[in-house]
A and B are shown apart, each in its own frame.
Chain A
Amino acid sequence: NAGVTQTPKFRVLKTGQSMTLLCAQDMNHEYMYWYRQDPGMGLRLIHYSVGEGTTAKGEVPDGYNVSRLKKQNFLLGLESAAPSQTSVYFCASSYGGYSYNEQFFGPGTRLTVL
């Protein structure tokens, strides 16, 4: 049982390049989330999904796109990377649509945009 996994763990991009971050979970969770963590700002929600084929915007969605084609996978895309997107990105999942469900987090992806 791997839990939540993220690929890649580290990445360096040049401004304007694109990339996709992959999140996978093997817990059959309905909900999945993408966060970014920046110094002094905690975790901020980028996008989330309440089930296969659905996505919704979070607090800081600009510059990112997501897709949830399979229940176990949640992809985060950067179409044209900017230095402001340098951050640590965390994926999380939770069992269902109830506020009391704790979220399970992946190990994070450290992204640097030059």
Chain B
Amino acid sequence: AQKVTQAQTEISVVEKEDVTLDCVYETRDTTYYLFWYKQPPSGELVFLIRRNSFDEQNEISGRYSWNFQKSTSSFNFTITASQVVDSAVYFCALSEAGNFGNEKLTFGTGTRLTIIP
């Protein structure tokens, strides 16, 4: 069974500091996809990134970067030079490719990030 653990329930940092959100996953499949979603105070979930299990290259998008390590089953998310607009709940999620016709996302419990001005 697939499982996603986000051990950090809440994090607070001062604006302009860097912050890393941890995500650890469990799966028996060799092919799977990992996602990060952002839920700002408005409530709607916004897709940030997708990574497949065969691509361990780190990805950078502006101030955001993602570190995928299969050896530790982790897919961590770093925000550099944080801003108040980054305040949100962030969810990591996992989808196993072997379930065609039964695709489901398993979400972690989320990390609430607060950026203090």
Question: Hey, which bits of chain A sit against chain B, CB under 8 A?
Answer: 31, 40-45, 48, 50, 56, 58, 88, 90, 92, 94, 97-108
Contact = CB atoms under 8 A, between A and B. Distances in A.
A72 to B, nearest CB: 19
Nearest to B9: A40
Interface string B68-107: 0000000000000000000000010001110111111101
Contact of A104 (B9, B47, B101, B107): B47
26 contacts: A40-B9, A42-B4, A42-B109, A43-B45, A45-B105, A50-B101, A56-B102, A58-B104, A92-B45, A97-B101, A98-B100, A98-B103, A99-B97, A100-B33, A100-B50, A100-B95, A100-B97, A103-B47, A103-B105, A105-B37, A105-B44, A106-B44, A107-B42, A107-B43, A107-B44, A108-B43
Contacts, number: 61
B35 A102 contact: yes
Q: What is the interface residue range for chain B against chain A?
A: 20 to 34
A26 to B, nearest CB: 16
Contacts of B109: 40-42
A48 B104 contact: yes
B64 interface: no
B52 interface: yes
A9 to B, nearest CB: 9
Interface of B: 4, 9, 31-33, 35, 37, 42-47, 50, 52, 91, 95-97, 99-105, 107-110
B95 A99 contact: yes
Contact of A31 (B43, B52, B96, B103): B103
Nearest to B96: A99
A44 B47 CA distance: 17
B45 A105 contact: yes
Contacts of A44: 107
